[in-house]
Amino acid sequence: GAVGLAQNFSAIRALATEGIQAGHMTLHARSVATAAGASPEIFDTVVERLIESGTIKIWKAREIVADVSVQSRPGEIGGGVKPLDAEGAKAGAGKIILFGEHSVVYGRHAIAAPVELAVQARVHDCEDGVHLVVPRWGVEYRLHQQHEKRRSFEKPAGMILDKLGLNDKAMRIEVYPNVPRAMGLGGSAATAVAIIRALDDHFDLGLTEERVNQLAFESEKVAHGHPSGIDNTVATFGQTLLYRKGEPSLMEELHIPHKIPLVIAMSGVESLTAKMVARVRSAWERNRDLYERIFDQIDALTLQGLKAMQDNDLQHLGELMNINQGLLNALQVSCWELEELIQIARENGAAGAKLTGGGGGGSIIAVCPDGTSNVVKAIREAGYQAMEVEIG
Ligand code: MEV
């Protein structure tokens, strides 16, 4: 009862302040999902699929609850539910960084791989205004036409529309993220790529892949300040890459002869890449020589890591990842939960483990030459989410 009243109240507020569209559809879908008995673990998925289906009705919600409950595997990232394949949607890939996060911002090499968790987006015509809807995150707002009046979370999508000359068109942009937010898995770049591709498709813009990547990079600059460009590049091309920023950037697709078994585990602590990049920058500004030497050491590890991947020497790869983690500690971008995950992974058979992405929270990766099951089990027993992936 209280939740229902609170929802009505916020719907009235949204009506009063932002007009009838804003906040309405997501709220309605949430009420319908509640009425259909969606449990907390599958609630966001049910809301998302209801909106995607275009039929926000209790019978539909019950069908979705039944379907999603069968698929759900607790402890797996994304609840173990099959990623949504929204009809007509376009995608951007998520990513993990194996070596070189942060130092890549300072012109050193990094290695990144796409993860199957992708973000999807699609565009529909609507009567007026630009509406951005992310059901899973309860986000639904009308974009302000004047960019100086946009709130920070509106800015990346707003910038894309401005650059494409579309901000006076009426549309609803729906975004379906399968990458958890702020978990170091490239969600913001994947979202940008998915939105750009959906706009390209809907308005028949004929964008090349290079242009998609370039626009996503511009969007990352709005979101992060000083991105290296690695996240948008993997989100666009979906390949395992050796990357170094520059004019032009080095983007070498890697051919890894044998599959490398990895575990991705999430700390559950949300962290903003922008904040961590800014923290490293201010430390670097205070002591450039010291930090440049750390970046050089990470660069050398990255190139050795590349060789270990190509030689399928997973013990050595793990050792190099552990040392990279030591240097990320030197940059002070780890946190208590990440360290716990790393220790659990190492104690349960991983040859090496490190944080991935911006750090300060987010996720870790662990390389598991003898199989991933013990590591996954131990991580889930400790109350974290984990997922098995293979790269190469
Ligand atoms: C974020 O995924 C990786 C960082 O190196 C930032 C960047 O490269 O833009 C921390």
Decide if 80 is inside a domain: no
What's the confidence (pLDDT) of residue 186? 94
CATH number at 311 reads 3.30.70.890
Residue 193's domain comprises 90-244
Question: End of a domain among 190, 213, 244?
Answer: 244
Q: What is the pTM of this model?
A: 0.88
- State whether 49 and 177 are in the same domain: no
Neighbours of 391 (CB within 10 A): 20
- State whether 299 and 373 are in the same domain: yes
- State whether 21 and 94 are in the same domain: no
What's the confidence (pLDDT) of residue 14? 63
In the chain, the number of structural domains is 3
Pocket of ligand 1 (CB under 6 A): 97, 101-102, 104-105, 227-228, 230-231, 273, 277, 357-358
What's the confidence (pLDDT) of residue 360? 96
Q: Measured between alpha carbons, how far is 95 from 116 in angstroms, rounded to an integer?
A: 8
Residue reference for tokens 């209280």: 2
Q: Are 86 and 176 in contact (CB under 8 A)?
A: yes
Report which residue type is found at 158. G
Q: Which residue from 98, 102, 224, 295 has its CB within 8 A of the most atoms of ligand 1, so it is best to mutate?
A: 102
- State whether 30 and 58 are in the same domain: yes
What's the confidence (pLDDT) of residue 20? 44
Decide if 279 is inside a domain: yes
91 Cα–ligand 1 center, Å: 21
Opening angle at CA 346, ends 343 and 348, nearest 5: 105
What's the confidence (pLDDT) of residue 70? 79
What's the confidence (pLDDT) of residue 17? 59
Ligand 1: which atom is nearest the Cα of residue 333?
10
Q: Is the peptide bond before 248 cis (omega within 30 degrees of 0)?
A: yes
What's the confidence (pLDDT) of residue 23? 61
Q: Which residue from 228, 245, 272, 331 has its CB within 8 A of the most atoms of ligand 1, so it is best to mutate?
A: 228
73 Cα–ligand 1 center, Å: 30
Mean pLDDT (10-residue bins), the chain, 392 residues: 82 61 74 88 86 89 87 76 80 97 98 91 92 85 84 87 93 90 91 97 97 97 91 97 95 94 96 94 97 98 97 98 98 97 98 97 97 96 95 89
